[in-house]
Amino acid sequence: MAIDRKLLDVLCCPVTKQPVRAMQRSELHSLNDRISAGDVHYQDDTQVDTPLEEGLITANEERVYRVDDGIPVMLEDRAINLRAAGLK
């Protein structure tokens, strides 16, 4: 389920206040490969154990937020830092 465009236009990172955009398939694939390898953790240091079907990425491409069943999970502790995951 794709995220509503109007909602996407008003969402921003709760930490950096940067706008977010939907992740591209290639970006999701790369991140999900790292998740499968056990190399990805949320900001609260818990391991990400479920691949993302959709994700929102900040304008500086450093943080990713899950979208579960069309609902963005915009919580600071549940952000994925791409630099820490070795993807930046």
pLDDT on residue 46: 95
What pTM value is reported for the model?
A: 0.91
Domain ranges of the chain: 5-81
Q: Concatenated DSSP letters for 51-82?
A: --SEEEEETTS-EEEEEETTEE---GGG-EET
> In whole angstroms, what is the distance from residue 56 CA to residue 75 CA?
12
pLDDT on residue 51: 97
pLDDT on residue 1: 59
From first to last of the 88 residues of the chain, give the pLDDT tens digit.
577 788 888 899 999 999 999 999 999 999 999 999 999 999 999 999 999 999 999 999 999 999 998 899 999 999 999 988 777 7
